[in-house]
Amino acid sequence: MNPLLLCSAMTLAEWIKTGRATSRDVVEAHIAQAHKVNPHINAMVEDRFEKARAEAAAADERSAASGGKGLPPLHGVPCSVKESFGLVGMRNTGGLYDHRNVIAEKDATAVARVRASGAIPIGTTNVSELCMWMEADNCIYGRTGNPYDPSRTAGGSSGGEAAAIAAAFAPFGLGSDIGGSIRLPSFFNGVFGHKCTGGLVPNTGQFPIAYGHALHFMTTGPICRRAEDLMPLLRILAGPDDVDGIVWPEALRDPAQVDIGRLDVLVVRGNGVIPVSRDMLSAQTRAARALQQAGARVREIVIPGLRQSLPIWAAGMHTAGGPSFCERMGSGVEINPFAELGRWAVRRSHHTLPAIGLGILEVLMDKLPGLEAAASGAGDALKAELDRLLRPFTVILYPSYPTAAPRHNQALLPPVYWMYTAIFNAMELPVTQVPVGQDRGGLPLGVQVVGPRGRDYVPIAVAQYLERACGGWNPPRLAR
């Protein structure tokens, strides 16, 4: 592979500033990679290659004029952007067919911040319908394949984004996560992703958007091929705008301040409901051993409250307010998901089966108010327990999913495995997704590193260490 396709964003920025590489060369290398691989995986759904080339030329002119001094941190570095983020002049549909002609007139806050930091978006990437399923598939753009095996899911809802990063279309990109939509795609595609503490990064300018307390379930964050980019990107993204976001003073400290040898590491093997495969448990053990060899205190525990992950998350989403999911599917007019299922069966629906299923789940939740109240109490108890366990330099190693990336549509049966990620949205805790090798079939394995509330730099420090100890991102053969 072109060496420019293997570097971190921060390394590329330094090379561009010092003249070791030009922005035009870096951008052109990633565009060529997208041309080469995207026809096989459908990760990037709309490009802005010509505009990116012009912006790269302008970046090189600024480099020459400044002598490399006083330039922004991501000067001249290409990136990709999840299609649900507003990016001026690009479609912003959120995978909803009725929005297929919507063009963004303004950059989302996260997009504006990375662009102000010098990054150059080269295109937008695929999502699930209304960003609410773990397959990047919709009736506008079709389905994204995993670059390690296109017959398998790339995840969702940021599936196109993680697949693009894994296939080296860009060194980093922007994702969002309300139930695992950064972490699951990052896991399935063998790259790094960070779900921040609830409220740390504004979600402004995305479609769809959460409401009420679910705005803190929903988080915006980076997806990267190299762990060293996570904290610089988080610092660029974090902090309130005039609409959204709060400040967590401890969140953005330097990961280098974390002494891995003094960490407490709690290994949780599962949620007690959905068993985890041997390969996934082996990856978790490998990560735990690497930290133990560095001196960390490692012990295995059970957290009984995790058994209630599904009702806790579902109840939190259901009580958040705002338009119902069925209303969003109908662009302001609530659809009947049971009737829509009939239309889907005869191929007359513009909605995907997972979205229809979520609409049905919403209707059923309306009829079970007692379950909702019980789940709310269970959520409060679990949040208190996790806050007790997660002292300032404690992390939890937790499975990302029960298996490596499943084949397309396989995740529908049963459709609840994503509870391994979603529960931490309801808990509003920072979580970093870390690649930890591959299985015998070459599919990425990984682990979630859960950190203390408001201390995002701690799980990011662990990710940086595990990258060195366990290998990190390994480019798929399709990308080489």
- Cβ 456 vs Cβ 196: under 8 Å: yes
Q: Is 321 exposed, middle or buried (0-12, 13-18, 19+ CB in 10 A)?
A: exposed
- Cβ 267 vs Cβ 298: under 8 Å: yes
CB within 8 Å of 413: residues ≥ 6 apart: none
Nearest CA to 112 out of 143, 81, 83, 137 is that of 81
Nearest CA to 420 out of 441, 443, 396, 436 is that of 396
Question: Which H, E and C letters describe 328-351, residue by residue?
Answer: HHCCCCCCCHHHHHHHHHCCCCCC
- Cβ 226 vs Cβ 192: under 8 Å: yes
Q: So which residues are the catalytic ones?
A: 82, 157, 181
CA 256 to chain centre: 23
Q: What is the chain's alpha carbon radius of gyration, rounded to the nearest angstrom?
A: 21
Tokens describing residue 46 = 């709309």
